[in-house]
Amino acid sequence: MTAAKKIVRCPGCGFRFDVSYSRVFACGDCPMVISCNYVKCPRCGEEFSTSSMNNSLASSPG
Ligand SMILES: [Zn+2]
């Protein structure tokens, strides 16, 4: 069992979701779906990078 879920938090609305969940519907036709670092929030449509989240965990305001 390799549960490689990656939960991200939308900087726009704060909604948390799985990265793979976003890619299914937002990047269905994108050829970069494997290596793309961007995800789209299913709730508000905000698009943001997941790679930059690792470095700025402590600096995000409430
Ligand atoms: Zn959002």
What would the pLDDT profile of 25-59 be if each residue is shown by its tens digit?
A: 556 666 665 667 788 888 898 888 877 555 445 55
Give the domain extent around 43. 7-49
- Ligand 1 center to 31 CA (angstroms): 23
CB count in 10 Å sphere of residue 10 = 20
- The residue whose two tokens read 């938090």 is 9
| pTM for the model | 0.59
In a domain? residue 20: yes
SS3 call for 16: strand
C-alpha 9 – ligand 1 centre gap (Å): 8
The two most distant CA atoms of the chain are separated, in Å, by 35
In a domain, 55, yes or no: no
User: Does residue 56 lie in a domain region?
Assistant: no
**Does residue 29 belong to any structural domain of this protein?**
yes
Domain count, the chain: 1
